[in-house]
Every structure is written in structure tokens, then in C-alpha cells.
Amino acid sequence: MKNIKYIAIFSLITLFSVYVAAQQPTKADLEKRRNNLLKEIEQTQKQLEETKQNKNATLSDLKALQAKLQARTQLINNINSEISGLEHTIRSSARDIEDLNSKLQSQQRSYAASVRYAYKSRESENLVAFLFGASDFNDALRRIQYLKRYNDFRKAEGDKIQRTQVTLNTKIGQLNSQKNEKSSLLAEEKEQTQELLAEKAETDKVVLALKGKEKELLDRIRKDQAASAKLESSIKEMIRKEIALAKKKAEEEARKKAEQEALAKKKAEEEARRKQEVAVAGSRSNDVTLRTGSEMRGETPSGSASPATSKPAQGGSGATASNTATPKATAATQQPSGSNANPRAMGASSPGTPKVSESYKMNLTPEVQNLSNSFSANQGRLPWPVEKGYISSQYGTQQHPLYSSITIDNLGIDITTGAGAAARSVFEGTVTKVSNIDGFIVMVSHGEYFTIYSGLANVSVRQGDKVTAKQTLGTVGKNEDGVSVLNFQVWKITGNNFSTVNPASWIAR
């Protein structure tokens, strides 16, 4: 039992180690992230330089500086992660070199010993004696094979030494390259740290300048909060209408389907009645023909009296009366086919409003559901809603950049971009709403997901338009500081409930 327990613990530790290793970013991932952060810092700096014409410090300047500080901090952390990875690689390479040196020395000692032995034993003379010392021909063959294997062994040992030497030299070259890379990263880390300190000082100056505009800034905060609440209420109402519209469409489709099924059933029943009536009429015609032919020959059916002497009983029915009455009685029981027929009597009832699912997802068409699945599958790989820019305000509840006692709730992310930048759809879909709420807003449906683009100066699409990824929706407008800022949101419908998700985790970074 103890052994089983130890094995289980060891297995869990091994699996955990593998999982942790799998979660660690690779060197290529770290390099890509470093380059992206450098581009983001460069874009932020460019935006700051464009707004430096206004000598007065603005809240947008503070957000840009704080975004740059955050990106710079992430960059330094990323560089430190790269350095840590390199240090681990350097240690591993050093161990490999040490092992290769030991292996090479062992191989060289073994080879030198064999050479010394061959020299001492005067190999050429002893080989002849060794061969002539064979007891018979087969023994001589075995000795020749032995000598051949011995020579092959010495040659293989020499080749091993050469390969080990080549591998060792390659490892030494890699180690030197890794050390140089580490030195370069350390220098970059030092440079970025100095930049960070300078940016912190600049940020403190802007904060100090803005403190003198407290009343103006607090009024702006209240105005922004009211605008955000109005936007949220409008978006929720739009999504509710989309849910109701999808349900209405599903009900209409279900009603049409039910009507078609009822009509098909009615036609099938009428066709069955028509065939039955034709069969009855045919049977009656045959019966009349048979009786008429018999009377013309003066014959009577077997077992029946002749027409001249046989009369049906009063109030009763004879054989002939029975034959002629039966088809009429059968026909009388059938309902006539035509416009006056009663549908309920024919078994076809008028369909009512069919029941549909209360779930928004279940009411989507297969085509729209495939679009929704495709959107979900591209999480983390969607293009940015602007060609260039940086995230100046993150998603969710956060402290105000100037007043720590005030919290702001961002339903999406604010992306600061250049003047006149185009807002682009991040994925194919349908424009479900275009409205003006303190600036134009465009809502694009992607099945269970909706993307919102607000703060536009103008729009180039209309409600109902089909759009593709990276298609222009409009032009990003400017805020009160004269900076172009797009508010980008992603909403998801689950059942009949809907909420926002973090857009930063959906776009490629």
C-alpha cells in the first residue's frame, strides 16, 4: 500500500510539473510579446507628441502616460522573463558541455590505451603470428573476423571522438551566443528602467497640473458616467429587441412549417377520399351493367324469381334494392371535397402559434449559429477595431486615473488612435443598429455575440448591411481633449441573459 501511495504521489508531481512547463511561455512567445509592447509604447509616444501642441495638461495625456508606464513595466517584466529563460538555458548548456568534456576525455583515454597496446605488442608481427597460430582453417577464419571487428572498433572509437568534439564546439558556440544575448537583454532592461523612471516623473507633473482643475474634472467625470449609463441602457435595449426579433422570426418559421405540414396532410386525405370515391363509383357501374345484360336476355340471377312474377315485399328490400342502395349509402357517408368541406370533419385542424425555445441560441438559424461558433473560435485572434492605436482605458471597474477614491466602470476598452482613423469591424456579421448617442454607435451581430463601436464622428454603414472583417464602419471621433478615442465592447448572450466580456482578450496582441 505504501508503494502504491508513493507511486501515486510521484505521478501527481510529474503531471503537475508537465502542466506548469506547458503553461510557461516559450522564448518565441516572449520575443513576440516584447516586440508588441515596444510597438505599443511607440504608438503611445507618437500620440503624446501629436497632442503636445496643447501646452495644458489633459486627462487624455495622463491616460496616455499611464498606458505607456504600464506597457513599459510589462516590457521590463518580459525582458526579465527572457533573461531568466536564458540563464536556465545557459546553465543547461554548461552542464551539457561538462558532460561532453567528460565523455570526450573518456573516449580519448580509451583510444590512447588501445594505441599504446598496439604499439607495445608490435601489432604487424603479432598479427601474422596470431593468424599462423590457428589450429585449422575455420579457426583462421574466426581469427580474421576477430581482427576485422577489432579494427572496426578502433575506427568507430575514433569517429566517436570526432563527433563528440564537433558537438562540444557547437555547444560552446551556443553558450557564448546565449551569454551575449543575456548581456544585450540586461542592457535593454537597464535602459527601459531609466525610461520608466523618467516617465513616472513626467506623469507626476501632469497629475500635479491636473489637480488644479479639480472642479472641471469632477464635472467631466459625472458627465462621462451619465453618458456611459445612457449608452449601457441603450445597448441593453438594442440586444433585448434582437432577442425578441429572433424569437419572432423563429415563431414565424415554425408557423409556416406547421401550415405546410397541415396543407400536405389535407391534400393527402383528399387524394385518399378521391381514390375511394372512384373505386365506389366503379363498383356501382359494374353492378348496373351486369343486371342490365341479364334482363335483356330474359334471365334472372340464380335462386331469384323473374321480374314478372317476383316483387319485393312491401316495406322490405329485395336483392336488387340491396345492390343499388348499398353504393348510395356508402357515398352518403363521405364528405364532399370542395370549398364547403369542413376541415375539422376531414381531420385537418387549423394550426395555432407553435411553441419555440425561449433560448436565443436555439432560435438562431444554422447559418448564424455557424457564424457564432466561428467568432468564438477566433478569440484572441480577432483584428483590432482600428489599424493603429493603444488601449488607454481597460475593461471593467477600476480606479480613476487621477482620483483614487472614484471608480469608473468601462463596459469595453478605450482605444486611442490617430486623427481621422477608421473604425473597422473585427469579424463578419450584420449591422443590427446604427444610432447617435453622444456620437454615433454601430452594433454588429455575430450570432450569440455583438460588437459595439461607439464614439464615431460619422458612419459608412446602414442597419441590415452585411460586413466583413476589417471593413470600415465609420470614422473615430474626438473626445473633449481633441484626442481620437474609440470605445469597443463585446457582448455575449447566454440563454436570454446577456453581459459584456473583456474585449482585450478577444483581439490579437
Per-residue pLDDT tens over the stretch 244-256: 888 788 778 778 8
Greater pLDDT, 473 or 258:
473
Q: For residues 504 and 509, what is the distance between their CA atoms, to the nearest angstrom?
A: 8
In 3-state terms, what secondary structure has residue 383? coil
What cell numbers appear for 442 in the block? 454601430
**Burial (CB count within 10 angstroms: exposed 0-12, middle 13-18, buried 19+), residue 261:** exposed
What cell numbers appear for 132 in the block? 599462423
- Please, where in the chain does CATH 1.10.287 lie? 30-212
**Nearest residue to 76 via CA among 175, 199, 202:** 199
* Tally of CB atoms within 10 A around 209: 14
CATH assignment of 30-212, given 2.40.50, 1.20.1050, 1.10.287, 1.10.3470? 1.10.287
Per-residue pLDDT tens over the stretch 489-505: 999 998 778 999 999 99
**CA count, 13 A, side-chain hemisphere, 385:** 30
Residue 28: pLDDT band (50, 70, 90) is confident
**Nearest residue to 41 via CA among 200, 195, 214:** 195
**Nearest residue to 92 via CA among 188, 171, 180:** 171
**16 pLDDT higher than 80:** no
Give me the mean pLDDT over the 346-350 stretch: 40
What is the reported pLDDT for 55?
A: 59
Phi, psi of 385 (to 5 degrees): -75, -5
Residue 487: pLDDT band (50, 70, 90) is very high
Residues 6+ apart with CB under 8 A from 179: 90
What is the reported pLDDT for 371?
A: 93
- The DSSP symbol for 257 reads H
Contact 199, 114 (CB under 8 A): no
| Range 187-196 burial, b when 16+ CB lie within 10 A, else e | ebbeebeebb
Identify the bridge partners of residue 423 per DSSP, sorted by sequence position: 474
pTM above threshold 0.75: no
Kind plus residue range of the DSSP H or E element containing 500 = strand 497-501
Residue 444: pLDDT band (50, 70, 90) is very high
**Nearest residue to 473 via CA among 414, 506, 430:** 430
Residue 423: pLDDT band (50, 70, 90) is very high
- Please, where in the chain does CATH 2.70.70.10 lie? 225-250+362-505
Name the CA radius of gyration of the chain, rounded. 46
**191 pLDDT higher than 60:** yes
Contact 221, 393 (CB under 8 A): no
**141 pLDDT higher than 50:** yes
Structural domain 225-250+362-505, CATH architecture:
Distorted Sandwich (2.70)
| Range 377-407 burial, b when 16+ CB lie within 10 A, else e | ebeeebebbbeebbbbbbbeeeeebbeeeee
Q: For residues 34 and 27, what is the distance between their CA atoms, to the nearest angstrom?
A: 11
What is the reported pLDDT for 473?
A: 97
Residues 6+ apart with CB under 8 A from 319: 301, 304
Residue 413: pLDDT band (50, 70, 90) is very high
Greater pLDDT, 387 or 30:
387
